Structure 1
Amino acid sequence: MSQPQLRRGPSRPDPEPHVPHGPRPARLVRWLGGFGAAAAGYAVFQSVFGLLPDNLGGQSARYAVALVGGLGTAVAVWLSAALLRARSEHNSATGSGQLPVPGGTGPDGPGPLPDLFSAAYRALAENICVVDDPVRGRLTGWPHSLGESGPGRPTSVGTAYGLHIMLDLGMPEGRVGAGDLVDTLWRLRLPDGGWSARSQGSEARPEVTAHVLGALARAGASRERLAEEVAICEARFTTELDRTGRELTHVVTTVLRGLLRAAPDSAALPLLRDHLVEGAVTDPRRRHLRCWGYRLAPPHGPPSPLHTAQAVVALDRVARVLGGESGNARAAREDGVRWLLACPDAPHDTCLDLSNLREEVRRPRTDDPTRHEVLNVRHFTASWIVRALLTPGARALAREDGVEEEWRELLNGAASAVLAGQTDGVWTWMRDDSSELRRPMWMTYQGLSALRSHAVWMYQPSTRQPNG
């Protein structure tokens, strides 16, 4: 059986220059801003006065020239100290959890997210497709990427991600209706049940089915109707029927996340969790901590920050939904968090752990096992790192291990990388075989979701007292 392939791929423009996380002003800086400025000015005054010739317009002229030199020096020293203090305070604020934003409006003004979210909503509303299909009826949604060439047509994957985005943004007005998107996803259901990606043909695949079911569940779809599709998805996602999918970290974690939304009482959840835990590997380069490669069975592939983050997110959610976790599952999840925090590279907004990946899922076709169905999956690694580090379990572990500073630094670096990848609220991916930029729906959803989670974690209500 052909194995999936994993490749690194560029997807985002160069991020803004890294802002170092420095300490608060030292005593020397504060001294320069106070007594030091006066002392420097007086020293220059004395030196200049002593060097000026006696015949320079009399004693008063000598005093005047020396005084001007001393005052100029004092002002220059004071301004230099003020600049150092301002830079140090900015760096300290960044290290304490504030996201550095190029061109930001400062702590008293709005951040970039309101405009970014508005731009994202506007882009999706302007690019929505409405197609009257003679068989399926009216379809309202999005293709795989915004701005695709040719007539646009809603797909299961693009519309499901669009529905997720709209639910996150709150749909402030009626240009896009959740009901139309939900109806479209049901109409795109395959005749034998389930959903597939555009390149997967007419056979349902568990990762796409679970993703669509998760979006439908968030939108309030009927539990009875969801249960029918969940049963079909679970029955098909077995080692006998889908060995390739069961061996891939991406597929298993995607199915887990979808079932957690659509069927939180599913008997498959603990089984898939244990399967995911058993697929972890140890990394001798990072203190022999457990992590994940792109495969859950040999050959596992190299340790992967992306797949480790996906596993951490899935295991954390399973633990919360099921009301607990086994000792082995908890140890594996915590090892995954510690492995992510052990990133040896710096700065953390451009480190190698944030490299985006492209993965090929190759399955033998059921109608012709000698041929393969190929699904290209691209991964926005920085967004997954943000989501993994913001899980409740990761935050608690950072406090317990006393590594909150390292956790915060990695989190802010990944969030900065996510922010740097968008233009007007839409994220772009550069094709591997050309300089063409695509705007995939999944990438915009993951970018918005990561920034929204980071903003919620950062939020602190104003402590200012009202006037009067």
Structure 2
Amino acid sequence: MSQQQLGRGPLRARQPRPTPPVPDAEPPDGSPPARFVGWLGGLGCVAAGYGVFQFLFSVLPGSLDGSAARYLIAGVSGLGTSVAAWLAAALLRARAAAGDPARTAPVGPAALAPGAPGPLPQVFASAYDTLVDQVSVVDDPERGRLTGWPHSLGENMPSPPTPVGTAYGLHIMLDLGVPDGRLSTGDLVDTLWRLRLPDGGWSARSQGSEARPEVTALVLGALARAGTSAERLTAEVERCTSGFTRGQDRAGRESTHVVTTVLRGLLRAAPRSEVLPVLREALADGAISDPHRDHRRCWGYRLHAPYGPPSALHTAQAVVALDRAARVLGENAGARAAREDGVRWLLTCPETSHDTCADLRNLQEEVRRPRTDDPLRHEVLNVRHFTASWVARALLAPGALAVARADGLEEEWRVRLDGAVAAVWAGQTDGIWLWGRGDSAELRRPMWMTYQGLSALRAHAVWMYQPVG
């Protein structure tokens, strides 16, 4: 899980990547042979030959057996130059027509031999190996055997599994397809049920013993995706939705992050729930107009005043949730207009480097709720966000490209998607993503961040796949 005291979250500095050359453009400086051939081509074959003839005739010494010899030497040299220039120009034209591999071959991972695998399978395999190596298995005296992960990898061992870490780990296993039997999704599912609170529902480790809707919806979504029956989920869905009202959880209902998280989880676990249209309308109504981007509607971190400044992170979360809701519930005019404006807002980033722009800055926020046992005190949930992954997932939503095409912004869509995916890729080492803790050198490897990174790369790979032939 992740979010912001807006604008104050840590942004890991990334060096801008060098811009790849346009395939059909000449190098800006060029090699000496290329410059010479270009010069000759500019003169023309005959003109080049005549220029060489004049030059040699003027510099050859007069003692060279008279003017006839000078004419002969200069003429042969000029003719040879004309033929050479013509052949060089023809060769360059043939290379351009055939797509000369010396000029068009990509560099980096894409330059592998035909049929060689790309780097993504190795990243997935490395991530799976790491999760297998660091799975936590604990025999709890009250809840039995627990198999899963804590909030972050590499915590002091043994760290008991948590609902958040194990739910994201289950999502990762389902994305990767569990290639072997070293991990059992059945064990992960059983552990999530054993981690359920005595009164039902689930909470994050920092939230204590009171169930919270965003964590409950996250767990329910993972359980439903793993194949848990709707009948078994029904009671937990009811507990989650009945307490998620402005009267009982005002802070949650006014938080863009919390509402989108609950909406996404329940779309998986209870697609016929009556609360889903209500949450969709609350989300659409919470959009704000941004005068700095043609008054396009977008989202801040709150759905009610004070909304907070426009946020690419929260706009991307809203676009993803509304797009999924449209596929499950259908879509009315208001929700469609808000979703489409959110896509347009993401496409109007004013910066030029879209893999390091401010729209991709990682954010952090707090969700503060009064404690039910002491309303004068607050429960504080620190939420961090992997912004680039959310922007990539929003632009990969099925409706996003349709909006871009309708508005003639397909090139802008491609450029911004490429930038977001590049930023996601740059954040991983062997398939695991790290979160820097402010100005500290200490790094954490949260499960939610690795899930979001892998999910974004997987979605992009599926989207970009082109069958051969």
Q: Does 1:188 align with 2:195?
A: yes
How many correspondences in the alignment? 449
Contact 1:143 / 1:158 at 8 angstroms: preserved in 2? yes
Displacement of 1:80: 9.9
For each residue in 1:83-104, what CA deviation from the matched residue of structure 2 results, as whole angstroms up to 9, or x when unmatched?
Answer: 9x879976xx9xxxxxx98444
Q: How far is 1:7 from its partner?
A: 3.9
Residue number in structure 2 paired with 1:466 = none
- Secondary structure of the structure 2 residue equivalent to 1:370: strand
Aligned to 2:383: 377
Instruction: State the AA in 2 paired with 1:383.
Output: S
Match of 2:319 among 312, 321, 333: 312
Counterpart position of 1:177? 184
Matched, 1:215 2:222: yes
Deviates more, 1:251-260 or 1:386-395: 386-395
- Given that 2:16 and 2:353 are in contact with CA atoms closer than 8 Å, whether structure 1 keeps it comes out as no
Correspondence for 2:468: 462
Q: Does 1:284 find its partner at 2:284? A: no
Matched, 1:160 2:167: yes
* Superposition deviation, residue 354 in structure 1: 0.8
How far off is 1:189 after superposition? 0.6
Letter in 1 for 2:236: E
Match of 1:6 in 2: 6
Q: Does 1:420 align with 2:426?
A: yes
Is the contact made by 2:136 and 2:148 (CA closer than 8 Å) also made in structure 1? yes
1:237 aligns with 2:241: no
Paired with 2:261 and 2:54, the residues of 1 have a C-alpha distance of 74
* Counterpart mapping for 1:16-35 below 5 A: 17-19=17-19, 22=22, 24-25=24-25, 32=38, 35=41
CA contact (8 A) 1:354 1:414 kept: yes
The amino acid of 1:17's aligned partner reads: R
The one-letter code sitting in structure 2 at the alignment partner of 1:187 is: R
How far did 1:256 drift?
0.2
Greater mean deviation of Cα atoms: 61-70 or 248-257: 61-70
Structure 1 residues 363-421: Cα deviation after superposition (integer angstroms, max 9, x where no partner): 11111122211111111111111111111111111111121111111111111111111
Question: Are the aligned partners of 2:10 and 2:364 in contact in 1 as well (CA < 8 Å)?
Answer: no
Please state whether the residue corresponding to 1:213 is helix, strand or coil: helix
1:269 aligned to 244, 269, 276, which one? Answer: 276
Query: 1: distance between equivalents of 2:221 and 2:280?
Result: 17
The separation in 1 between residues aligned to 2:16 and 2:283, in whole angstroms, is: 36
Structure 1: which 5+ residue stretches go unaligned?
94-99, 464-468
Determine what percentage of the aligned residue pairs are the same residue. Answer: 63
Q: 1:184 to 1:283 in 2, by over 3 A?
A: same
Instruction: Look up the match of 1:431.
Output: 437
1:139 aligns with 2:143: no
Counterpart of 1:293 in structure 2 is 300
> 1:340-363 CA deviation, whole Å, 9 max, x = no partner?
111111111111111110111111
Aligned partner letter, 2:406: E
State the Cα RMSD in Å.
3.5
- SS at 1:131 equivalent: strand
Any conservation in 2 of the 1:44–1:69 contact (CA below 8 Å)? Answer: no
| Alignment partners' CA distance in 2, 1:72 and 1:430 | 60
TM normalised by structure 2 equals: 0.86
Aligned-partner Cα distance in 2 for 1:118–1:74 = 53
- Kindly state the Cα deviation for residue 8 of structure 1 after the two structures are TM-superposed: 3.6
The question of whether the paired residues in 1 share the 8 Å contact of 2:164 and 2:215 is answered with: yes
Contact 1:48/1:66, CA 8 A, preserved across alignment: no
Instruction: Give distance in 2, aligned partners of 1:75 and 1:354.
Output: 50
Deviation at 1:19, TM superposition (A): 2.0
Q: Give the Å deviation of 1:67.
A: 10
1:248–1:50 Cα change, 3 Å? farther
- Alignment of 1:450 with 2:447, yes or no, is no
Higher mean C-alpha displacement, 432-441 vs 351-360: 432-441
Which residue number corresponds to residue 417 of structure 2?
Answer: 411
Residue-by-residue CA offset, 1:177-207 (whole Å, 9 max, x unaligned): 1011111111111111111111111111110
Q: 1:71/1:155 Cα in 2 relative to 1: closer, same or farther (>3 Å)?
A: farther
- Of 361, 375, 382 in structure 2, the residue corresponding to residue 355 of structure 1 is 361
Aligned-partner Cα distance in 1 for 2:274–2:107: 44
The verdict on how the C-alpha distance between 1:43 and 1:150 changes in structure 2, with shifts beyond 3 A counting, is: farther
Determine the C-alpha separation between the residues in 1 that align with 2:102 and 2:9.
36
- CA deviation vs aligned residue, 1:401-450 (integer Å, no higher than 9, x gap): 12111111111111111111111111111111411121111111111111
Separation of aligned partners in 1, 2:101 and 2:294: 36
Candidates 256, 262, 286, aligned match of 1:255:
262
Give the Cα–Cα distance (whole angstroms) in 1 for the partners of residues 415 and 421 of structure 2: 10
